Structure 1
């Protein structure tokens, strides 16, 4: 599955309401603007205001997949001419990002192993062309998700090093692609719940956040994130915490049934008690 979430209108020219005397030149003239050359994020950015934007992309454990790196000409118009853009791997972005975000130890992002990805042509940089009259070109970076591990936070940092025309973006000339292998519990579930927050059924999506942990919306209704961990030795399922409510206390009957791919949990969090069953689709 190609990991791409198309962004609509990133850095589209903002509509400005300007007041001036009729005999003055307008403060903003789209005919005189120069297009911005940038990389487009593929998923909601992890943190706002960081030194570089970071995307988290999840992958199934398969022999091959791609990261679609989108290079965009942003402006009022399409590219006025063929624009050559060079994108290169930028390893120094990772320690800079870690320092900016105060990450250390196991929380730091580290460089994806070179045998787990390949730019077109096999080098550390690639030059592509945004054709005249268009706005985008896509670079397919081949990756090998079955090589991804849970032992570190692996990422591929890229940057635009040059463009033959336009202005290279000051905010989105760099992009960090954090790659996360899906664990076996990630996916969609038929969900039944009862307890202090009511009862019902719905569909819940669980996302990988570690080798044995997933996160999902509280009872599939609220935006609070429920972290569930499965013990691989005895299949005990425990709710670690619910964001905004604190750590959870679990009941002994909790378990993961690998035969039916079902998670059974009962837990207390704050003053609430919930019983939930998740059946993987």
Structure 2
């Protein structure tokens, strides 16, 4: 009988202890028990998760004189700041970019000092609010097209409160857009044709045919005169064209003639005697190119018109 009573008391003790531990765990996870932090609010989508710092990307036309708005936030369970909080923001060291590159395998470099006018600033999150915004003036005409440039900024101090560990320092990737950058809509007359050999077109091939009703394509700046074409698809628009990674168009500004190439396929080129041209008056590209000319040739005739900025 004593043994039974002892076992019963032991079971009750264990259950009580576990219940207490579980309650403590739930309390620890309750957001209302947390502490507000001062951090950068996300200015755009994070480029890559799991990186040592959050990196956001922006692009501007070289003809623009924009200012990049950056917001500092008082974030957490407490909705508003209980008092005025002065937040000091400055440039982070260039080594921040090196740390990011090493961890992610990228080659970002520090934004040219002529490309912006920011050195540091202070903003005040006013009592009863939770955000304050400042701007960084940019000069896209001074960006280096040959590089992926980054501006690292950091919260150096705050008059009160806890500074976030995760969003204290962020990287701003700023790029210049050339005159051809944007979203383009395929036009009537566009088509694609596949071949089983250099001279025999495939038949009964659902990927062949008109592409004028395909989804929009994107033209992304590579250099002052070169854009990379994205979202190119076979007829019907249901699947992307493979085997020509990093498809690029280079415009000669003097003649508006276009040279086609693909970094992922050295055979891709203009079709001899065909039209490959940009019309600046209508912002329209007429492109005729092929690839795999000595084996399973593919021919693409593409006419696209500017729809809007990316």
Q: How many residue pairs get matched? A: 251
Is 1:227 the equivalent of 2:247?
Answer: yes
Residue of structure 2 equivalent to 1:266: 289
> Partner residue of 2:15?
none
The question of whether the paired residues in 2 share the 8 Å contact of 1:239 and 1:265 is answered with no
- The match for 1:45 is 46
Q: Could you say which structure has the higher strand fraction?
A: 1
State the shift of 1:154 in Å. 2.2
* Cα RMSD (Å): 3.0
Residue 144 of structure 1, aligned match among 139, 145, 151: 139
Match of 2:88 in 1: 86
Matches within 5 A, 1:164-243: 164-192=159-187, 193-195=190-192, 196=207, 199-201=211-213, 202-211=215-224, 212-219=226-233, 227-232=247-252, 235-240=257-262
Q: CA deviation at 1:186?
A: 0.6
Q: Which residue of 1 aligns with 2:11?
A: none
Structure 2 residue aligned with 1:7: none
Instruction: Structure 1: give runs of 5+ residues left out of the alignment.
Output: 1-19
Q: 1:247 to 1:159 in 2, by over 3 A?
A: farther
Query: Counterpart in 2 of 1:67?
Result: 68
- Indicate if the aligned counterparts of 1:241 and 1:248 stay in contact, CA closer than 8 A: no
Q: Describe the SS at the equivalent of 1:128.
A: strand
- In 1, Cα distance between equivalents of 2:223 and 2:267: 18
Q: TM-score, normalised by structure 2?
A: 0.69
Higher-Rg member (1/2): 2
Q: CA deviation at 1:197?
A: 5.8
TM-score, structure 1 normalization: 0.75
Shift of 1:63: 5.5
Alignment match, 2:304: 278
The answer to whether the 8 Å contact 1:112/1:156 transfers is yes
Deviations 1:14-48 (A, max 9, x none): xxxxxx84893433333321112222333333322
Question: Contact conserved, 1:217 with 1:226, CA < 8 A, in 2?
Answer: no
How many Å separate the matches in 2 of 1:27 and 1:176?
A: 32
Deviation per residue, 1:85-113 (Å, 9 max, x gap)? 1111013212222232334xxxx322223
Q: Residue 229 of structure 2 contacts residue 249 of structure 2 at CA under 8 Å; is this kept in 1? A: no
**In structure 2, how many angstroms separate the alpha carbons of the residues matched to 1:156 and 1:63?**
18
Q: Indicate the larger mover: 159-168 or 175-184.
A: 159-168
Partner-residue secondary structure (3-state), 1:64: coil
More helix by share: 2
Give the secondary structure class of the aligned counterpart of 1:34. Answer: coil
Supply the distance in 2 between the matched residues of 1:51 and 1:254 (Cα, whole angstroms): 48
